[in-house]
């Protein structure tokens, strides 16, 4: 098996063990035998692709065809996927090739493993992917194995042939069906779904923390957060349980009948985000159980598939994006309430010297700008089919576009969340005391990155530092921030 404990390891070295290589060899031999004995067309192997699927290829054309598949479809351009996303894409493709319905050679699998191990990073386009599957992006990714196209090294584009030569590697020579297999399925959408799910889980944790801090600083009544208020909604009950564990029973402002709505409804927004993100994760898991090639080699037969149409992933990523937009709206409003002395009872704009000092109102303006950009991502990316390939491909899923929007939405919400964390930390600083016991570690965590303000200072670099720390955090226990 592959030696790896992590789904998307960034630096782990991968190894193929002998039993797995033997299994891959048996599958490959079975596929080659079936191809030799089959008289009927096999899509993409002895035929053209797309509208040209009805064109039969003679033996000479078949030998050239797999290489041509990767060359002729590489019509994309920058901006390119970031290196960490390219690595995750290659890992997903590797997983596909280890499934019993793949039938690619152990040599191709080993070549892919070697490129993961030596940091080979193809230049893969992020946008302009208008095909029914991901052939434009995947042709850019895997033509580099042939020494064609470009790769990314130290932030610059380098010819793939030069990058292979520098590693002492001979370009790969494709065998029957391997070019088609490299192009099929939706590994880019799967990669976005996995990474988008992870980022969203981080944001749900962080937004739970910011919600609890707002409850604490504003002295909000706790009754509305009682888990019994969730009824039969398990997701909402879980959020309410986490919040009550953080904020406890007080202290509560005696003159406050109700906290601002943005504080009271935060659990529902968090529960919805958790629910739709769970749906996305379950869909992504199911994708790992289905043949991703077309045709797939199943029980000795070549079976056409539809794994290029990742609409279920795309629509769920769209749903998660919409949930993140709402979390952003609630967060920015809570930040505004924390800055307002009418709600907080603290100095206006959370400055110890109102007037000469601006306090944190400029930080809220940063959050408002991030929210404005975030809202524009709420329109579903998955919808909008266009007739292509002379009518052969008349529906697209655009799941990769949904993935890009989800990842962009997460980036904006990380910034909004950092702004609220700094605001809540400053509010607690001005209010005095350490806060409720369940949040003391949280306040300390924020202050270790962005100390409280005793006067105005340029916060931009500190905001970016906290965003980076938030992205690196994945809380298992919000009370202790472990």
- Three-state secondary structure call for residue 16: strand
**HEC per residue, 82-141:** CHHHHHHHHHHHHHHHCCCCCCCCHHHHHHHHHHHHCCCCECCECCCCCCCCCHHHHHHH
- Name the DSSP class of 423: H
The string over 219-229, giving b where at least 16 C-beta atoms fall within 10 Å of a residue's C-beta and e elsewhere, is: bbbbeebebee
Q: What gap in Å lies between CA 218 and CA 252, rounded to an integer? A: 8
- Quickly count: other Cβ atoms within 10 Å of residue 43's Cβ: 17
Residue with tokens 């009872």: 345
Cα→Cα distances 100→111, 120, 188, 290, Å: 19, 26, 21, 10
The pTM of the full predicted model, rounded to 2 decimals, is 0.93
Q: Are 354 and 364 in contact (CB under 8 A)?
A: no
pLDDT digit of tens for each residue in the chain (482 aa)?
444 334 445 557 899 999 999 999 999 999 999 988 877 888 777 787 777 777 878 788 877 888 988 998 889 999 999 999 999 999 999 999 999 888 899 999 999 999 999 999 999 999 988 877 899 999 999 999 999 999 999 989 999 999 999 999 999 999 999 999 999 999 999 999 999 999 999 999 999 999 999 999 999 999 999 999 999 999 999 999 999 999 998 788 888 888 899 999 999 999 999 999 999 999 999 998 988 888 889 988 988 888 888 999 999 999 999 999 999 999 999 999 999 999 999 999 999 888 888 899 999 999 999 999 999 999 999 998 877 777 777 778 899 999 999 999 999 999 999 999 999 999 999 999 889 999 999 999 999 999 999 999 999 999 999 999 999 986 655 555 53
């Amino acid at each position: 098996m592959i030696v790896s404990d992590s789904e998307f390891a960034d630096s782990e070295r991968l190894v193929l063990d002998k039993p797995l290589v033997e299994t891959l060899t048996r599958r490959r031999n079975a596929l080659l035998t079936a191809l030799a004995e089959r008289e009927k067309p096999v899509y993409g192997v002895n035929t053209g692709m797309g509208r040209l699927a009805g064109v039969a290829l003679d033996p000479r054309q078949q030998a050239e065809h797999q290489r041509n598949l990767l060359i002729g479809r590489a019509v994309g351009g920058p901006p390119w996927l970031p290196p960490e996303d390219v690595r995750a894409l290659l890992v997903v493709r590797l997983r596909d090739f280890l499934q019993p319905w793949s039938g690619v050679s152990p040599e191709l699998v080993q070549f892919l493993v070697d490129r993961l191990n030596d940091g080979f990073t193809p230049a893969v386009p992020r946008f302009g992917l208008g095909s029914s599957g991901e052939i434009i992006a995947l042709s850019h990714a895997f033509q580099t194995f042939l020494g064609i196209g470009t790769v990314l090294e130290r932030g610059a584009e380098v010819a793939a042939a030069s990058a292979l030569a520098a590693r002492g590697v001979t370009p790969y020579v494709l065998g029957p069906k391997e070019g088609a297999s490299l192009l099929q399925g939706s590994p880019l959408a799967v990669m976005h779904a996995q990474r988008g799910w992870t980022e969203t889980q981080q944001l749900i944790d962080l937004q739970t923390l910011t919600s609890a801090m707002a409850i604490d600083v504003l002295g909000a009544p706790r009754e509305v957060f009682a888990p019994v208020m969730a009824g039969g909604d398990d997701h909402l009950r879980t959020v309410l349980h986490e919040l009550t564990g953080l904020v406890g029973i007080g202290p509560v402002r005696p003159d406050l009948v109700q906290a601002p709505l943005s504080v009271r409804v935060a659990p529902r927004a968090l529960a919805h985000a958790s629910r739709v993100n769970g749906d996305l994760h379950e869909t992504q898991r199911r994708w790992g159980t289905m043949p991703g090639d077309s045709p797939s080699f199943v029980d000795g037969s070549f079976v056409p598939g539809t794994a290029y149409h990742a609409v279920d992933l795309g629509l769920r990523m769209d749903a998660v994006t919409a949930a993140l937009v709402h979390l952003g709206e609630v967060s920015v409003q809570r930040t505004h309430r924390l800055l307002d002395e009418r709600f907080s009872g603290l100095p206006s704009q959370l400055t110890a010297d109102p007037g000469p000092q601006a306090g944190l109102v400029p930080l809220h303006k940063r959050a408002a700008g991030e929210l404005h950009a975030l809202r524009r991502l709420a329109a579903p990316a998955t919808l909008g089919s266009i007739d292509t390939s002379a009518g052969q491909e008349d529906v697209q899923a655009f799941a990769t576009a949904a993935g890009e929007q989800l990842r962009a939405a997460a980036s904006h919400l990380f910034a909004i969340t950092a702004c609220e964390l700094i605001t809540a930390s400053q509010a607690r600083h001005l209010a005095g005391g350490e806060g409720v016991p369940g949040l003391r570690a949280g306040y300390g965590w924020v202050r270790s990155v962005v100390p409280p303000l005793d006067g105005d200072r340029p916060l931009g670099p500190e905001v970016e530092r906290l965003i980076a720390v938030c992205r690196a955090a994945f809380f298992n226990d919000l009370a202790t921030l472990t």
